[in-house]
Amino acid sequence: MRGRRIYVETTIAADIETVWRLTQDPAAHVRWDIRFSRIMPGPVAEPDAGEPTRFRYERRTPLRTIRGTGVSLGERLRPDGTRTSVLRFHTRDRLSPIRAGRGFWRYVPDGNRTIFITGYDYEAGWGQLDRVVRPLLGWATAWSFDRLRIWVETGVPPEQWPLRSALWWWRRDRPRAARCARTPTRARRESGVATVPATLDALPDPKDDA
């Protein structure tokens, strides 16, 4: 079962290199993105070599740890000054709400700021319950993006904002999913920055590593 693609966009008051570093480094990535608890990369390709990197990931919950495999490819040197990162992922865990998926990150310089965009879709593991799971995943992605923005702009570490801080209504400075765009504007669609990068189709299937 596939549903509507998840789309999230935020604007971060930082240069593109800073945003790239904190999203491409696996140790930094899991600090702000609540969708992952651990990312273990395989042999890393040379920068800008055009070779994908394979990785394993974990998402720990109180009742179970979901484990899977993935493959990603970053593209830093594009003629228009933007950058992209694409990935495919897969898990054999029958209790996971996500079985296999694919998506992208796009980095768009905007003066002294960086527009950070993601789009992804997946095969649902829970059948019709995906009607509930998919909106929650979209919310979690947007909340994580705002958590990253706060880290970059203020220096406040992501660990200061655990998931339960979403309920701290009295803290106006807490991460909020509502600060992120959840659908691309017409301008984004026409410019192409909201579309799937062509490099995604070239990625190998991570099922081979599962």
Whether 161 and 32 have beta carbons less than 8 Å apart is answered as: no
Which residues are 101's β-sheet partners?
89, 122
Mean pLDDT over 97-101 rounds to: 93
* Residue 100 to residue 92: CA distance in whole angstroms: 9
Q: Which residue has the higher pLDDT, 31 or 4?
A: 31
Whether 115 and 3 have beta carbons less than 8 Å apart is answered as: no
Domains in the chain, ordered, with CATH? 6-209 (3.30.530.20)
Whether 95 and 202 have beta carbons less than 8 Å apart is answered as: no
Which residues are 114's β-sheet partners?
12, 109
Chain segment 144-174, per-residue pLDDT in tens = 999 999 999 999 999 999 999 999 999 999 9
Nearest to 16 by CA among 105, 79, 83, 74: 83
Q: What is the pLDDT of residue 193?
A: 86
* Residue 120 to residue 105: CA distance in whole angstroms: 9
Chain segment 101-137, per-residue pLDDT in tens = 999 999 999 999 999 999 999 999 999 999 999 999 9
CA distances from 68 to 58, 65, 120 (A): 7, 10, 17
Q: Evaluate if residue 100 carries a pLDDT over 80.
A: yes
Model pTM greater than 0.75?
yes
- Token pair listed for 109: 């310089």
Q: What is the pLDDT of residue 209?
A: 62
Q: What is the pLDDT of residue 77?
A: 82
Mean pLDDT over 85-109 rounds to: 95
Q: Evaluate if residue 1 carries a pLDDT over 50.
A: no
A 10 A CB-CB count for 44 gives 12
Chain segment 35-48, per-residue pLDDT in tens = 999 999 987 656 55
Q: What is the pLDDT of residue 42?
A: 85
